[in-house]
Amino acid sequence: MIVKFEIYFDGKYWCARGIDEDIFTQAETLDELMRNILEAVELHFEDEIERGEEITVLTLSQFEVPHVGQTASG
């Protein structure tokens, strides 16, 4: 099973929202957020994991590209 998350920064916290799953978590750093995602998935799919089902987490991240005054080509 693949569990997908959208990751975004809300201005204060890094947030992860499950896509097609009712899971949400947040953290101050991306490292902490990844740990929170794993913990949330383990809790949400506890029965499936106990039955031996393999769970894969796929994250989709949002990042802003800073404005650059001049393009690389000149």
3-state SS of the chain is CEEEEEEEECCCCEEEEEECCCCEEEECCHHHHHHHHHHHHHHHCHHHHHCCCCCEEEEEECCCCCCCCCCCCC
Q: How far is Cα 64 from Cα 74, in angstroms, rounded to an integer?
A: 22
Return the pLDDT at 69. 67
Return the pLDDT at 63. 74
Domains of the chain: 2-61 (3.30.2390)
Per run of 10 residues, the mean pLDDT along the chain (length 74 residues) is 95 96 96 97 96 96 74 58
Return the pLDDT at 66. 79
Q: Do 56 and 41 touch, CB atoms closer than 8 A?
A: no
Return the pLDDT at 71. 60
Whole-prediction pTM value? 0.81
